[in-house]
Chain A
Amino acid sequence: MESSAKQVLLIPCSGIGKVHGLIAREGVYRALEQAPEGKAATMCLALLVVGDDEARQLVGKYPVITVDGCPKLCACKNAELAGGRIARSVRVLDVLKEYKGLQPGTATALSADGWKVVDALSSELLAEVRVLTAPGEVA
């Protein structure tokens, strides 16, 4: 039987132009705080942009969940270009569809509504981490 993944990499886009990038970034941080110890980690997306060898090895070794703020999907595309094993590509825009009318804040600071979206996103990420690291799961 194939073993479960020891660890999952969560990589947000951290887009700097819109609030969606900040939500992606904070959603990953929140999920990392709540994930079982050693089961989830993040890495600097910029390392993949510059082709860092160690970063490329990590995304090839562990399943990756990317979190993107906008449809350009920078996190997903960069991870794929680096040879990453994309287990799931999460889009903040899809999460926001459940929260129509909310004002999540700005690319600099989230409002209380923005943090609600972050918590919802992190719950989704956490559930995915648990599935991917569950005993018996092929990852």
Chain B
Amino acid sequence: MMAETELKVGIISCSGEDLPEGTISRLATRRVLEFLRPGQTVTLCLPLFLAGGEGERAFAREFPTITIDGCGKQCAKRGTEAHSGPVSAALVVTDLLPDAPRGSGRVSTRGTDMRDEAAVREVAQVIAQHVDAILADAPQAAPGETSGASCGCGCATSLPPGVIEVAGQSVTIPGLPLILQQCAQDGLIADNADASERLVQLVSIYHPVPDAERSDYATALLAAYRAYLQSRHASR
């Protein structure tokens, strides 16, 4: 196996259960790992610093690390620095999104809406900017030097993309094949407005869908879904 030579940035989320901003911190971190900077970032569950072993506690010493906290208590930053090592940047959702409510104010991802998506996207973009800044400042690793940049859980694995035509433009959607597959497994019927709206909702978790283009995305995604169903049927 070829050794990995690129430096990766660690992202630790507080994922606070008791406040909506904890959910935003978690989803924004996932968005960076999966879609904005896949292959350049890695994460670790914050509670593993205490529950895990020395390998987990070496995380922030091994990777330049960004913490993303929901509130001013900054548990992710404090926990990381106490148990693992100093962090390169410490972000707080309530600072990044000063106007409450942030998102819909819900803690559960059940029934998330466009306000939640917007909040997650905004925080994720800031995290990604910090990732870029850290990588730009970092010295390049020597050839053959491994970063060991995986916690082994698949959290930094990017999803296969799909391409759709939105108003004549080719747009790459991370994870689209899996989204279509899941919709088919869920029995989503591709012949009504509910289907296109559901597809837009799912895709917008992973890819920004501007309000002005929502209708175009709905049309394109429904066409892609129909094509997927036909190919699935033909292959049987």
Residues of A within 8 A of B (CB): 11-18, 21-22, 25-26, 28-30, 42-50, 52, 72-75, 77-78, 81, 103, 105, 107-113, 115
Size class of B's contact patch? 35 or more
**Inter-chain contact B79/A73, CB cutoff 8 Å:** no
Would you give 18 A-B contacts (Cβ < 8 Å), ordered by A? Answer: A14-B15, A17-B154, A29-B107, A42-B17, A43-B17, A45-B15, A46-B16, A46-B47, A49-B46, A49-B79, A50-B75, A50-B79, A72-B51, A74-B48, A74-B52, A78-B50, A81-B50, A109-B202
Decide if B22 is an interface residue (CB 8 Å cutoff).
yes
Query: Could you say which residues of chain B place their CB within 8 Å of the CB of A109?
Result: 109, 202, 205
**Inter-chain contact B78/A50, CB cutoff 8 Å:** yes
Decide if B196 is an interface residue (CB 8 Å cutoff).
no
Task: Pick from B28-36, B97-105, B138-146 the stretch touching chain A.
Answer: B28-36
From B18, B31, B109, B206, A44 is in contact (CB under 8 Å) with B18
Rounded to whole angstroms, the CA-CA distance of A81 and B51 in the bound complex is 9
Rounded to whole angstroms, the CA-CA distance of A47 and B47 in the bound complex is 10
**Inter-chain contact B52/A17, CB cutoff 8 Å:** no
Rounded to whole angstroms, the CA-CA distance of A115 and B45 in the bound complex is 22
Query: Could you say which residues of chain B place their CB within 8 Å of the CB of A73?
Result: 51
CB neighbors of A among B132-177 (8 A): 151, 153-155
**Inter-chain contact A15/B45, CB cutoff 8 Å:** yes
**Inter-chain contact B30/A107, CB cutoff 8 Å:** yes
**Inter-chain contact A78/B205, CB cutoff 8 Å:** no
Query: Could you say which residues of chain A place their CB within 8 Å of the CB of B18?
Result: 42-44
Query: Could you say which residues of chain B place their CB within 8 Å of the CB of A14?
Result: 15, 17, 26, 45
**Inter-chain contact B47/A78, CB cutoff 8 Å:** yes
**Inter-chain contact A46/B51, CB cutoff 8 Å:** no
From B31, B34, B44, B46, A46 is in contact (CB under 8 Å) with B46
**Inter-chain contact B26/A17, CB cutoff 8 Å:** no
CB neighbors of A among B34-67 (8 A): 34, 43-52
**Inter-chain contact A16/B76, CB cutoff 8 Å:** no
**Inter-chain contact A17/B153, CB cutoff 8 Å:** yes
